[in-house]
Amino acid sequence: MLLVCTTWQSSSAVAADFTYRGGLVNPPLPKPKFVLTDTSGNSFDLLARTRGYVTLLFFGYTHCPDMCPLQMHMIAEALKQLPAASAKQFKVVFVTTDPARDTSQVLRTYLDGFDKTFIGLTGTQAAIDAAQTAAHLPVATRSAVRPDGNYDVGHAAFVVAYSKDGFAHVIYPIGVKLQDWVHDLPELATDTWGMKVETPR
């Protein structure tokens, strides 16, 4: 997997009097504009469907042996520790970087193993590559096919957290632990970063 972390500045991000345990993104990244297909076969406009929510965006694949299941597990477990009203402020979006193997059914089954509310998106390889570029992330790369027919996909190994203002101020790279998510999620649910917060639709 790619360990590229674009612009994260340090091991902790400070907003007002709260210290995030993710990495500060400076300048903050705008939420990308792209439309892919969800696991029900419907078009999913990221900007429109996540407006007013904290959006945790991750590009990965279901055959990933380590980072993808670890990140999804930690987010799911951390969300369970939030009050229901706070948990509803989040949209977790998993975009496959391996559409050849990650059919809608495969993707839905995979995400249901973590949390049934997690949103799975797929599309053509070109559309997924464009979505990564729109998110200012490196485009995933595929390894050579092994004799058993399997292959690996190198992808950005971090979660981008878009606040309710529509910008990513914090990202969560490799090394962030469950207790860090538990620490940060309540603040992400309420932090406005001094900007206008949109109302969920």
CATH of the domain at 53: 3.40.30.10
Radius of gyration in angstroms for the set of CA atoms belonging to the chain, rounded to a whole number:
16
Say what the pLDDT of residue 13 is.
Answer: 52
Per-residue confidence at 177, pLDDT binned at 50, 70, 90? very high
Asked whether residue 197 is domain-assigned, the answer is: no
The answer to whether 195 touches 164, Cβ cutoff 8 Å, is no
Residue 198 included in any domain = no
Domain count along the chain? 1
User: Domain span at residue 151?
Assistant: 13-190
Tokens of 101: 């193997």
For residue 153, pLDDT over 50 is answered with yes
Average pLDDT estimate for 65-92 = 95
Place of tokens 């300048």: 27
% of the chain residues with pLDDT over 70: 87
pLDDT band at 15 (very low <50, low <70, confident <90, very high): low
- Over residues 28-51, the pLDDT tens digits come to 999 999 999 999 999 999 999 999
User: Both tokens of residue 191?
Assistant: 């932090």
Sign of the torsion formed by the C-alpha atoms of 58, 154, 45 and 47 = positive
Q: Which amino acid type is present at position 19?
A: T
- Mean residue pLDDT of the chain comes to 87
Kindly report, residue by residue over 116-131, the tens digit of the pLDDT. Answer: 999 999 999 999 999 9
Question: Reduced to 3 states, what is the DSSP secondary structure of residue 174?
Answer: coil
